[in-house]
Structure 1
Amino acid sequence: MESLSDIIWDVIICGTGLQQSLLALALSRSDKKILHIDPNGYYGSTEAAFFSLQEVKDWAAGVAAATDSSKIFSAATAAFTTKEGEAGLSNPRGYALTLSPQLIHANSTLLSQLVSSRAFRQLEFLAVGSFFVFNPAASTSSITRIPSTREDVFSTTALSARAKRQLMKFLKLVLSHQDESSLPQWQEYGAKPLADFLTQKLSLDRDLITYVIALTLSLDGRISTKDGLQAIHRHLTSMGKLGPGFAAVYPKWGGGSEIAQVGCRASAVGGGTYMLGTGYKKVTKSEVVEGEVADSDRLLEIELTDDTVVKTKMFVRGPETVFPNGTGSDKDTVKMSRLVAVVDAPLTHLFEITMEGAPTPAVAVIALPPGSMKADNSKVESESTYPIYVIVHSSDTGECPTGQSILYLNTVHTLESKSLLEETITSLLVALTPEDGAGAAPRCLYQLYYEQTACTKPEVAEDEHGLVFASTPNSLTFDDEILDSVQQVWQKVMGEAVEAKDVQYMVFTDREGVGEDDDYE
């Protein structure tokens, strides 16, 4: 049996983040010699899911101990939040907290590629249900469901007849906003904030504007009119594409981590070699006798962390720092504060079916507009400058035991954002307490807080050692732009083979033994 050092690898991939794993999936039928390594002992990198609270604790401790300010993750803490400590929690291995609770719109190119590559057979997707807006009040806060379809608008009792007409007019514009006849209605506001267009051009009231901005899932709430219309268009055109009553889906058992593992599994079935817990120490070009081979064709020699030296034609790695190629500035990044909370209630009223024939949702979204939250920090009261988004997961996601829920809170980082997210948990759980007094107020049992910095554009960098994926954007919905980066790297690895008639990117037939009865509907 050949040792790793005896093989000339076509490509060595470092990191099992979503981009590297999708690359592995794309190469899984290429007959390339692939070595896939990861310094972590788990799959997923920045999209990882941790399958016990001990794993969460260990990860947070590792992040907190890091001293490099250019790292993607920082300021991580994990702790029990009740006086009884672990009381109320299930077996610590009954949880799967993910770093990537991103929603995937039904018309996302990612889903199309998972279908055409046959990887969808190993994934289970759950429906993302209603979007809500948090309404702060001096006495009792509450949440209101956002109507986002024609049927919703007609049936809701939260809007006046005039507001319904205005909202219907806006939704009609969104669906046709790229038509030549519709462009004059909004183009002059294209680069201006969507809120300005809604106020000045359409005369929407404050509540309607809040609903519309919430549907965009804009991180800072200041999305442009052009981008805002496109975001809502994606939401509306995704509605019903995979079934009635929902516009987005979520992968069961850990979000992006689950997709990453499926990609790696496909590569392993295709002959790829996997080594978790193994990174690299240095990369050099192999020595060559002058005149034998062009400098550009020299192999790379990579010394792994276990001291093995391997040779490869190409080296592709994921981001270890915010700017993997050493260039960039803060204006090219977004830093998020994130808080993951385990709650001791099922919150079933957030996951109600809103349309006949629709599946029971496993995910709901609650938006808190800027100014919704106030928190005391060092005896100074601070107000939320940016929206806070709470992605709520039921136990159907497989991420917590039955009877509990997971809340994923997200906001643009500020000095006060940690305090604001903690106050959000307190205020939101009060608002989610059953009005009929049938149950006690939900309690937060466990929290994971961390900060994450990422590039705004998922571009591929190239240096003397190979190709480097940028950190994936911090958006709350999957960004199809990262797929362009993956295909770009795939083309470089494949070389002239991409011109072959029988080579299609991410288009595979079923492997032997898979029946047609399992075909995707």
Structure 2
Amino acid sequence: MTDQLEDTHFDVIVLGTGLTESIVAGALSRAGKKVLHLDSNMQYGSSWSVYALKPLLDWKEKVTNTDNVKDTVPAFTIAFDGNCKNSFQHVALTLGVNEASAGQDDGPLTEQEESLLSQVTEADRERYISPWQSTVDKDDGAYLGKLASLVTCLKASRQYSLDTCPKLLAARGQLVEDLIRSGVGRYLDFKSVDDMFVFDHGDHALKKVPGSKEDVFTNKSISLVDKRKLMKFLTFAMSDEKEEALLQDIDSQSYADYLEAKFKITGKLQSAVVHGISLSTSNVTAKEGLERTQAFLRSMGRFGRGSYLCAMYGGGSEIAQAFCRTCAVFGGIYILGQSLKSFLVDQESGVCRGVVTADGQEFTAGAIITGFDYLPSEWQPLESEVSWVSKAILVSAEPLSQFTQAGSDQAIGISVIPPKDDQDDLVVVQNQSSETSACPPGQYVTYFSTRSNIDVLKIAVQTMLSSTDQDHREDDPFLFHLVYQQCARSRQTVKDRVPGNLYVCSDPDASLDFEAALAEAKSIFTDCIQDDQVEFMPAPPDMDVDDIPTD
């Protein structure tokens, strides 16, 4: 950026447009604070970014670039590009074989190849196809099919909204309540997530989770005896007044053991409750499992049959933009694509006074809010303090057979793959389609996420691609899949390392919803305001209180 602002002092400077940062920016601006919101990227989202196909490929090249980052830099230097790169690891793109578009019997290889290449621009051939071609063997029988997949996706690049941090909203979660009350929800569109499944390793197939009374009664795979057990448990879980005898040992007993001991729920039915409804592993405490189960059941049926909502056009990034819009409406100033040089730190007091841009302009503020990618090396967490979340994005030209066999059209839903090993975690699978604007019509997007290592993730991807047919295990075709690990750094690890007036926002965690990000944003807002009388994101002046739903 070459233009410079005349006003250089603000109440608050926010660096990065991730979800937490953007919620805080919107809330502070709404509370009357003078906010400057900067992002060194040209798009919103930061660690929560959503990409069209070509920008996703550009991002993949950026984070896998092997150029060396300078080891020695001046104090408080913002090494943004290097930090962004270090926030991801094990990034790998795999193209599938699109035989339908390859035309493998229509002539010599060179003619078929040119026919495919003629469908994209010269710029796209040079930027995206030629680098890939240099790494493959054209004599490989799968070459044309993979080229066809790449061409198919490039042609429809702008129709993709691929989420690097896919999450859902609990229908009765606090974020939904705040979006409704504050009016920020008016900037967003949602779809109800009605389908939920748990993968049965024994049958190698997805099984519908019976989360409601209707599901229990209509599920033909559950015996009458098990239906009675499940109904007794669901009634208990939803009740505010619980029998004392059924609450014994909930702090010390695992959820799985508790369900077996108190309700005689075992086997596949137990997996549906523990892994599906509560999104827990078998060894989670009964108390935590019950709390998660109750939250799930209370959210069910509010906006649809299911308990979750999916934001159109990508979750965290889209919600972040809605809060940024609120910030701007109440006077916040936005500059995207603003490269930053360093933080301004008073050597005597240790207070962070502001930031210096790459073109030398200084911005100052009483409080600085930032994502991890802007922190200088001396404020970054130790390697031992960093955890990782393994993720994958899979795009296919038809529904995966795992979903169709389970009775889902794969338009929108959620599935859970339970761990085979007690040391591993769940793999959460989200399936979306053009109904959420995740991809072009006729295509499907499947997201994977787990706290487990990258190998567990890859097995999960392969599991969902494999057929349910025991006698014919040919894998489903796909256009491409991208696997990666994303940093999940907590602000608590650097709290004593940064200046007292600098508030760091944690990376996206491994949970399914946005509640942790919202809670952290509220905590930072409270610390910045230091006035209990100032409400967090009140209803806007133009909203009638009668318009706010109360159910």
TM-score (norm 1): 0.81
Percentage of matched positions with identical amino acids: 27
Change (3 A) 1:166 1:387: same
**Could you say which structure has the higher helix fraction?**
2
2:23 alignment counterpart: 22
Q: Deviations over 1:458-478 (max 9, x none)?
A: 799362261112223211122
User: The residue matched to 2:524 in structure 1 has which SS?
Assistant: helix
1:62 pairs with 2:123: no
- Counterpart selection for 1:166 from 219, 223, 229: 229
Whether contact under 8 Å (2:454, 2:484) holds in the other structure is no
1:275 pairs with 2:335: yes
1:204 pairs with 2:204: no
Q: CA deviation at 1:259?
A: 0.3
Whether contact under 8 Å (2:278, 2:290) holds in the other structure is no
Q: CA deviation at 1:443?
A: 2.1
Letter of the structure 1 residue corresponding to residue 485 of structure 2? E
Q: CA deviation at 1:32?
A: 2.5
Q: CA deviation at 1:216?
A: 4.3
1:424 alignment counterpart: 463
User: The residue matched to 2:293 in structure 1 has which SS?
Assistant: helix
1:504 alignment counterpart: 535
CA distance in 2, matches of 1:326, 1:97: 28
2:364 alignment counterpart: 311
Q: CA deviation at 1:456?
A: 6.9
CA distance in 1, matches of 2:404, 2:177: 26
2:72 alignment counterpart: none
- Counterpart selection for 2:414 from 340, 365, 370: 365
Change (3 A) 1:417 1:348: closer
Change (3 A) 1:409 1:252: same
Q: CA deviation at 1:284?
A: 2.4
Alignment of 1:315-330 (within 5 A): 315-320=368-373, 326=380, 330=384
Whether contact under 8 Å (1:219, 1:411) holds in the other structure is no
CA distance in 2, matches of 1:405, 1:476: 20
1:116 alignment counterpart: 181
User: The residue matched to 1:421 in structure 2 has which SS?
Assistant: helix
Aligned length: 477
Letter of the structure 2 residue corresponding to residue 190 of structure 1? D
Worse-superposed segment, 200-209 or 402-411: 200-209
CA distance in 1, matches of 2:382, 2:286: 27
Q: Deviations over 1:174-230 (max 9, x none)?
A: 123x63x43441341324321121233432221111111222464655322111111
1:397 pairs with 2:436: yes
Change (3 A) 1:425 1:305: farther
Whether contact under 8 Å (1:27, 1:490) holds in the other structure is yes
2:398 alignment counterpart: 345
CA distance in 1, matches of 2:511, 2:16: 21
Whether contact under 8 Å (1:333, 1:453) holds in the other structure is yes
Q: CA deviation at 1:510?
A: 4.6
1:472 pairs with 2:508: yes
CA distance in 1, matches of 2:460, 2:359: 41
User: The residue matched to 1:461 in structure 2 has which SS?
Assistant: coil
1:76 pairs with 2:91: yes
1:229 alignment counterpart: 290
CA distance in 1, matches of 2:418, 2:508: 25
User: The residue matched to 2:363 in structure 1 has which SS?
Assistant: strand
1:151 pairs with 2:196: no
User: The residue matched to 2:495 in structure 1 has which SS?
Assistant: strand
Q: CA deviation at 1:150?
A: 1.2
Q: CA deviation at 1:117?
A: 1.3
1:493 pairs with 2:524: no
1:105 alignment counterpart: 170
Unaligned residue ranges in structure 1 (runs of 5+): 289-294, 355-359, 373-382
1:37 alignment counterpart: 38
Whether contact under 8 Å (1:459, 1:470) holds in the other structure is no
TM-score (norm 2): 0.77
- Counterpart selection for 2:157 from 74, 86, 92: 92
CA distance in 2, matches of 1:456, 1:223: 22
Q: Deviations over 1:9-30 (max 9, x none)?
A: 1110001110011112212333
Change (3 A) 1:401 1:12: same
Q: CA deviation at 1:420?
A: 1.0
Q: CA deviation at 1:492?
A: 3.3
CA distance in 2, matches of 1:467, 1:448: 32
Whether contact under 8 Å (1:390, 1:409) holds in the other structure is yes
Letter of the structure 1 residue corresponding to residue 294 of structure 2? H
CA distance in 1, matches of 2:37, 2:463: 41
Q: CA deviation at 1:321?
A: 8.7
CA distance in 2, matches of 1:72, 1:222: 30
Change (3 A) 1:26 1:311: same
Q: CA deviation at 1:519?
A: 6.7
CA distance in 1, matches of 2:176, 2:378: 28
CA distance in 1, matches of 2:355, 2:374: 20
Whether contact under 8 Å (2:25, 2:327) holds in the other structure is yes
User: The residue matched to 2:511 in structure 1 has which SS?
Assistant: coil
CA distance in 2, matches of 1:460, 1:112: 31
- When the two chains are superposed, the root-mean-square deviation of aligned CA atoms in Å is 3.7
Q: CA deviation at 1:348?
A: 11
